[in-house]
Structure formats: C-alpha cells, structure tokens
Amino acid sequence: MVPPSTFLPRIIIAVAACLLLVRAAPATLSVGERTFEFTYTAQIHDIPAGSKDVQIWLPYPQSDEYQNILKAKVTSAYAVQILTGPEYGNQMVHIEVKNPKTADITVTMEFSVRRSEHVHNTFTAVSSADVGTPPALTRWLQPDHLVPLDQRIRDLSAEVTAGKTTDLAKARAIYDYVLANMKYDKSGTGWGNGDIYWACDAKRGNCTDFHSLFIGLSRSAGIPAKFEIGFPLPAAAQSGEIGGYHCWAEFYLNGYGWVPVDASEAWKDPSKREYFFGAHDANRVQFSVGRDLTLAPPQSGPALNYFIYPYVEVDGKSFSSVNKKFSFRDENAGAVAVGELR
C-alpha cells in the first residue's frame, strides 16, 4: 500500500494547475483556431401605425472551409425563413409581417462558430502559364457600382503594376500601394461606403475603402478579386460587444487559387504586413460575400452596397429605424490555450 503522503505533492500540483487554468485568461484560443458564441440582435422600432407590410432581412453566416457553424438559432415572434441570394449564394433570414399589431419587432440570431485561420501564402504552386479565367470567376473581374473600372482606374492600375509580369507580382504591388497611400481614418463623413473614387482622392477610410481600392485595381489588372464582410473579434478579449463590421478581400491566381488579403489590418499593425498578404486570422466571422446585392425575396429598393446589417422595408420603402447589437463570447473563456497567445 502506498502511503497517503505520497499523493500529497501530486494533489498540490493538480490543484495549482487547475487554479492556473481558471485565472490565466488568454487573448484568444490560438493562432490557428477560435471557437465562440455570437449573438446578433435587430430591433425594428417605431413602425408607423397602419403599415400593411414589413419585410426584414438579416445576413446569415454559413459554413465553409475556414468557418464551421456548429449551432444556430433564430428567435422571432414571426415566421422565419432561411433563404439563399440569387447571385453570390449568401444565406439570409427573411421575415414578413402583414398588418403588424405592434410598433416594435425584435429578431435575435445566436450562433456557435469555429473559425480557422486561413493561410495561403507559400505561392510555390503558381503556374507561369496563362490558362485563362475560369467562367466561375467572371463576376470577380466586373465592376461594382462604387468600384467602376473606367479609364481613370485602369490607368492607375497600369501605373501601379508597371514592370510586373506576373499576377502575383501585380497583386503585391497593388497591396503595397494601398498600404502606402491609404490611412485608416474614420473622422468626418464620406468614408465607409467602399467608394474607390473616395479612396483615390481622400486617401483614407475604413476597411471598406481600403479593399475597394485593392479590388478595383486588381480587377483592372485582370486579377479576379472578391469582397467579403463579417465582424471582427478583438484579439485581446474573450467576450464583449462588437461595435461594427469588418471586411476583407481575396484575389485569384491561376494554378494556385484564392489568396486572402486584409490590407486595413496590415495598415493598423505594420508588423503583420507580410502575414496579411496571404492570410486571414481566426479573429473574425464571415456573413456575406460580394456587393450590389439582390436579396431573397428581392427587395423593392436598389441593390445593397453590401450586406452585414439588418435591411428593412415597410410598405415597399427602405426603413431605417433599426437598432442593432452584436456580441461574442469565447467558448473556453478562462482556460489557457495550447499554442501561442495573442
């Protein structure tokens, strides 16, 4: 029989380890993966008395190679449909309310998400041969309403990429140009629309403006590029409210595939300039892709510039009395992660 005193040091060590797990809270799980609960709340208020028809759309995240929606729940007093948009395949919540009896309608979406880091930056398999653009990429070479590919933008793209002979070198030149000429600055008005002319002239803005410039110059150079939007998760927190959206981009290389880019995050943290040319970290959740969107069912108003916040129409007209709130909580909050802390 082993004396009880033999177990005492082991018990002390085990208790100490448990206390360390509880008290030492990491910034995130690890470099490669983050699992969290996300809550998206929309409150439509002050619906005019006598309104006949209220249409509500909310973006609805879906799983892909780097994002796994583990659980999802939508709470509403009215019937909910999950529909798919006609052009980009974005999913969305749709709620129709006929002859509303109340001036307020609240919709809450709750998700459990596992987000993986997307790194695709070795570039060892890039083909030097021009094999043409697959038909599925055609849309990502076309203009958007606020990202025209006119002579001014084509000339700027040609200037930025002068002397570059491969799409990879051209994309890198465009990325470097955006970082050298843009400033992350949300003061005043005009920023946040993803207007490439604004980006060229004001040379400042948020992630939407940074990536409108990157995407427009890339497409003008014959490089397919797409817009993606969701929400950021603070790297230094395990829970809390999120103030607004974040967007990023990808460009396509023949013989290699889609390359992730986050120019605005690279501007904020110059030490990650190399990383964000070919990577998206796990501190994000994606909700939709593309711009100039038609919803399902189609909205009465014009195409949406981008789709991340609730969109509401009352009797066929856009309705802006909508409060929104976004929050998250890491599922293992309070435990030490294996791997590098951020």
Identify the CA nearest to 125 among candidates 261, 249, 278.
278
Identify the CA nearest to 24 among candidates 258, 332, 325, 281.
332
Please work out, in degrees rounded to the nearest 5, the angle formed at the alpha carbon of residue 158 by the alpha carbons of 153 and 164.
Answer: 145
What pLDDT shows up at residue 332?
81
User: Under CATH, what is the fold of the domain 118-281?
Assistant: C8orf32 fold (3.10.620)
pLDDT above 70 for 236:
yes
What pLDDT shows up at residue 239?
97
pLDDT above 90 for 340:
no
β pairing state of 284-289 and 225-232: antiparallel
pLDDT above 50 for 18:
no
Residues of the chain with CATH 2.60.40.2250: 33-116+297-330
How would residue 257 be classed by pLDDT, with cut points 50, 70 and 90? Answer: very high
Better pLDDT: 28 or 218: 218
Are 308 and 230 a contacting pair, CB within 8 Å? yes
Indicate the residue type of 131.
V
pLDDT above 90 for 124:
no
Neighbours of 253 (CB within 10 A): 19
**Ramachandran area for residue 316 (φ above 0: left; ψ -120 to 50: alpha; else beta):** left
Better pLDDT: 21 or 245: 245
- CATH 3.40.50.10800 for domain 33-116+297-330, yes or no, is no
Identify the CA nearest to 207 among candidates 235, 183, 234.
183
Quote the CA–CA distance of 288 and 227 in Å, as a whole number: 9
Residues of the chain with CATH 3.10.620.30: 118-281
Share of the chain above pLDDT 90, in %: 84
Are 113 and 60 a contacting pair, CB within 8 Å? no
What pLDDT shows up at residue 126?
77
Instruction: List pLDDT tens digits, range 47-64.
Output: 999 999 999 999 999 999
How would residue 162 be classed by pLDDT, with cut points 50, 70 and 90? Answer: very high
Peptide bond into 26 cis (omega under 30): no
